[in-house]
A = this chain, B = another copy of it.
Amino acid sequence: MGEPTYRYFRVTTPREYVAHVEINRPEKANAFIEPMWHELKVVFDRLSDDPSVRAIVFSGAGDKSFSAGLDLQNASAEGSKFNPRPEDKLDAGRQAFKTRKWALEFQHCVSSIERCEKPVICVMHGMCIGLTVDIVTCTDLRICTTDSVFSVKEVDVAITSDVGTLARLPKVVGSYAWVKDVCLTGRNFDAEEALRVGFVTQVLPTKAEAVQKALETADSIAAKSPLAVQGTKNCLDWCRDHDVASGLRYMAVWNGGAINTQDVPLAMKSILTKGGNPRFEKL
């Protein structure tokens, strides 16, 4: 409720424990310019720490698009990072060093969604292009509208995508050949294909319905023990990146602490007595 105001994002709390983050630059198809990814990090870092938030819905403002990705007009202006003036050009070695640091910082902003301790449910509609795919692969659940169009566009801008798509997509969907196909051709794929390959888990006719669905899911997650929900997100992300043995050992240590909570007998009793969701304390 006392959410701060942001320039490029609108953050509301439509329901108890549920935050809604909207990319809010609809006049530019929610395309991204540099201050936006810095603000994105501020938004998600804050929600990660706020005990009154247990689940987050993430969508794009306006009817047109979730996001058109990098704002090319802005990125290609003379004097920008991607098109430096001749007189600003550094020694190639120094330029490489500086570009790397800039890319690491860019990644760090985008990855704030993955580092956020609360589940993030992404609702996509319209264009979801280029940088957008980097961003949404950091979310936990993805649903979209029938009219969604996706593309891993970076290759068409002569860029090896480096803020997340190539690192996460091979671990996010089932077909590595499909990953290579969309990343090497930069071709569009639609909602139906996204569903078939497992990139999204649901397709809904309209944005309103998709947001409604996401809010319901968020609601249902927010009603569960926050210890179990956030533990599940944390452990799944750990296990994606470690072998099974290291996954099992980490989780045994996790539950050494986490399982010793009153939420467990409370939840068990509620199930056995069909008493409905108990009210779990804040975390």
Name the segment of A7-15, A31-39, A57-65, A71-79 touching the other chain: A71-79
Chain B residue at minimal CB-CB distance from A168: B244
- Distance of A83 Cα from B163 Cα, bound (Å): 33
Contacts of A93 in B (CB 8 A): 227, 257-264
A255 at the interface (CB under 8 A from B): yes
- Are B269 and A76 in contact (CB-based, < 8 A)? yes
Contacting A177 at CB < 8 Å: which of B198, B258, B261, B267? B198
- Distance of A99 Cα from B264 Cα, bound (Å): 14
- Are B251 and A162 in contact (CB-based, < 8 A)? yes
A145 at the interface (CB under 8 A from B): no
- Distance of A234 Cα from B33 Cα, bound (Å): 27
A283 at the interface (CB under 8 A from B): yes
- Distance of A214 Cα from B217 Cα, bound (Å): 36
| Bitwise interface map of A from 191 to 221 toward B, beta carbon under 8 Å scored 1, else 0 | 0000001111100000000000000010011
Contacts of A251 in B (CB 8 A): 103, 160-162, 166-167
Contacts of A111 in B (CB 8 A): 248
- Are B257 and A162 in contact (CB-based, < 8 A)? no
- Are A184 and B261 in contact (CB-based, < 8 A)? no
A104 at the interface (CB under 8 A from B): yes
Contacts of A255 in B (CB 8 A): 99-100, 103, 159-160, 162
- Are B104 and A249 in contact (CB-based, < 8 A)? yes
A155 to chain B, nearest CB (A): 5
A1 at the interface (CB under 8 A from B): no
| Bitwise interface map of A from 103 to 129 toward B, beta carbon under 8 Å scored 1, else 0 | 110010001001001010000000000
Most buried by B among A225, A236, A260: A260
Chain B residue at minimal CB-CB distance from A96: B257
- Are A174 and B173 in contact (CB-based, < 8 A)? yes
A281 at the interface (CB under 8 A from B): yes
Contacts of A272 in B (CB 8 A): 72-73, 76
A230 at the interface (CB under 8 A from B): yes
Residues of chain A in range 240-268 having any CB-CB distance to chain B below 8 Å: 240-268
Q: Given contact pairs A107-B252, A166-B235, enumerate 13 new A-B contacts (beta carbons under 8 Å).
A: A82-B259, A93-B261, A95-B256, A97-B283, A99-B260, A103-B256, A140-B180, A155-B232, A160-B254, A167-B235, A175-B201, A179-B236, A253-B257
The 5 closest A-B pairs by CB, nearest first: A174-B174, A96-B257, A175-B198, A93-B261, A160-B231
A-B contact pairs, 9 of them (CB 8 A): A107-B248, A107-B252, A156-B224, A156-B267, A160-B232, A166-B235, A175-B201, A246-B246, A250-B253
